[in-house]
Structure 1
């Protein structure tokens, strides 16, 4: 999904409206799934960098994703300790783009591009709405 930004110089007839992928919670306002995916991807990379505690993601990740991220964060810390050149291998991760595909009302898949100081990474996730809350059931970080 792409977004266009209307500027003051454009004629009003060419302005486009913002397209979103809304998620409808029970009795709540629309939530843009892209914002949820963006924040979870940012938080997951901060966990790998060691700048955010994994426990902050406990409600947003299912148990399998949580354990997998915990294991990968431990391996990343162990590798960084061995190389000694860079104690924090994932410095300043910044989300550059988010694309969401709605599978059903309760399931979405997202692809996220994250830029770090030395490289760009891809993050893919499947989000499922359980009891009105979006939870990641599959998380892949490249």
Structure 2
């Protein structure tokens, strides 16, 4: 095991969890306020309008992550990108995580989802 492997595993786990939460908010299966667990306020505000409205009585199809990629451009920054299915349509999602005040937080999200 190399030095820092534990940190690498931790960052990957945070990135995977954050990606799942963001995609669930976009799909309408998770309330936007739950983003505050993993994201800075600006990201939470930015994604809230993207949340899909679910028509009454209609079944929500859970979103799926088809593939993802992870990289560490620096010691305090991690980025992940993914191809996801939201409401039967394929979209791209990219997240930037930064180590702020002792924990990893999502500081930026880009997506092709409406």
TM range (shorter): 0.7 to 0.9
Which structure shows the bigger proportion of residues in strand conformation?
Answer: 2
Secondary structure, aligned partner of 1:137: strand
Taking the TM superposition and a 5 Å limit, the aligned residue runs for 1:63-82 are 63-73=41-51, 76-77=52-53, 81=55
Please name the residue that 2:97 is paired with: 127
Alignment partners' CA distance in 2, 1:71 and 1:117: 16
Greater displacement, 127-136 / 37-46: 37-46
2:25 matched to 1:47?
A: yes
2:61 matched to 1:91?
A: yes
Name structure 2 gaps, 5 residues minimum. none
Q: TM-score, normalised by structure 2?
A: 0.76
Name structure 1 gaps, 5 residues minimum. 1-20, 25-29
What's the CA shift for 1:91?
2.2
Identify if the C-alpha distance between structure 1 residues 139 and 23 changes in structure 2 by more than 3 Å, giving closer, same or farther: farther
Please name the residue that 1:18 is paired with: none
- After TM superposition, what 4+ stretches of structure 1 lie above 4 angstroms from structure 2? none
Taking the TM superposition and a 5 Å limit, the aligned residue runs for 1:130-141 are 130-141=100-111
Q: TM-score, normalised by structure 1?
A: 0.63
Larger relative contact order, structure 1 or 2 (CA cutoff 8 Å, min sep 6): 2
Specify the structure having the higher radius of gyration (Cα).
Answer: 1
Identify if the C-alpha distance between structure 1 residues 113 and 101 changes in structure 2 by more than 3 Å, giving closer, same or farther: same
Secondary structure, aligned partner of 2:37: coil
